[in-house]
Amino acid sequence: MTAEVILQSFFSPPTLFFALGIMAAVIKSDLRVPDEAGATMGLFLLTAIGIRAGVAVNETGIDLQVAIGAIAATLIGCLLALAGYTMLTRLFSIDPANAGSIAGHFGAVSSMTLILSITFLDQIKVTYEPFVAALYPFMDTAALVTAILLARRSLSSKKDGNGPSTKELLIEGLTARTTVLLIGGLVIGFITGPQGMARALPLFDTLFFGVASFFMLDIGLVAGARLAELKKVNKFVLGYALLMPVIHVLVAATIATLIGLSPGGVTIFAIGLAGGASFISAPIVMRTALPQANPSLSLALALVVALPVNVIVGIPLAYHTAVFLAGAL
């Protein structure tokens, strides 16, 4: 991991647009992104994330190990979101909306951490199973849906006095537009594959980064307007942001080793998928699904705490953990 790669992660257009939005809100600029424009960008990005993931899984192909990996990634995504939400609400007394948002961000996959973990392995010439990176939609979607369901259940319970049944929550979560677009896009991309999506995929590939960057301006404007709320946040949440990625890595690395992945594959699974904190897909989803949450809190923890720690020590530590587990289990 070179200094250039690290700087690129901090000074990428999405991050800079987010900073611009915060600055505009702080100086009380009249800059605004129309609600309709923000909603449209969110729908496009959700669709693009699902389709690109489905095409990647199609190219990789499905065999028994891929199927086991997908199941493991899905279960871990649910487990991480559940553990995070429980810790935030019961130990740190965070409100359900923000707890769901934070748990979703930390349970979802950071594409930047995923890229950096692969770059690290390539630099030290360690081989890995190529399909592991394509498992990200399984863990990502599972974590986001679980966090949203948990938060909505608590919010509904406080509002109405009686929480909805698990069946009602599952139906609501699985039929929500965020989930429909993520899973629907994944299925469409998988069924059609790169050849079937040849004409449409350039749209989702070419425009994705630019739209995501501009969408982060909208997120920054919303976050900047609510920055003052950070002063009211339980300070132990910072400890959560430092501790939970380590727990995620240990749990995911152990499971990945048990299902037969190589140390390189375990590294990608543990830190590239489970150990990061999303600041692309999660803000998009949470902005729509949990509008009551403060986006500045989740994004600050993901960008200012989780990403730098992973870049500096998290990825090498995850690899050495994978090597140790390979010899111990």
Tokens of 87: 């810790």
Q: What is the pLDDT of residue 1?
A: 44
- How many other CB atoms are found less than 10 A from the CB of residue 88? 25
- In order, the DSSP letters of 156-213 are HHHHHSSPPPHHHHHHHHHHSHHHHHHHHHHHHHHHHHHHHTTTTHHHHHHHHHHHHH
Q: What is the pLDDT of residue 158?
A: 61
- How many other CB atoms are found less than 10 A from the CB of residue 36? 8
Separation of alpha carbons 275 and 212, rounded Å = 22
Separation of alpha carbons 155 and 149, rounded Å = 10
- Tell me the C-alpha to C-alpha distance, in Å, between residue 23 and each of 166, 215, 217: 41, 15, 10
Q: What is the pLDDT of residue 280?
A: 75
| Digitized pLDDT (tens) for each residue of the chain, 329 residues in all | 445 544 554 677 777 887 898 899 889 899 988 888 888 888 888 888 778 778 877 887 777 888 899 999 999 999 999 999 999 999 988 999 999 999 999 999 988 788 878 888 887 888 888 788 888 888 988 898 899 889 988 887 665 545 455 566 557 666 767 778 877 888 898 899 888 888 888 888 788 878 888 887 887 787 777 777 666 667 788 889 989 999 999 999 999 999 999 999 999 999 999 999 987 778 878 887 888 888 888 888 887 788 778 877 888 889 989 999 988 76
Q: 280: closest CA among 1, 17, 4, 87?
A: 17
Tokens of 147: 């966090």
Fold for domain 33-224+233-328?
Na+/H+ antiporter like fold (1.20.1530)
- In order, the DSSP letters of 86-126 are HIIIIIS---HHHHHHHHHHHHS--HHHHHHHHHHHHHTT-
Would you kindly state where each structural domain of the chain is located, as residue ranges?
33-224+233-328
Q: Which residue has tokens 């037969």?
A: 260
Separation of alpha carbons 20 and 309, rounded Å = 24
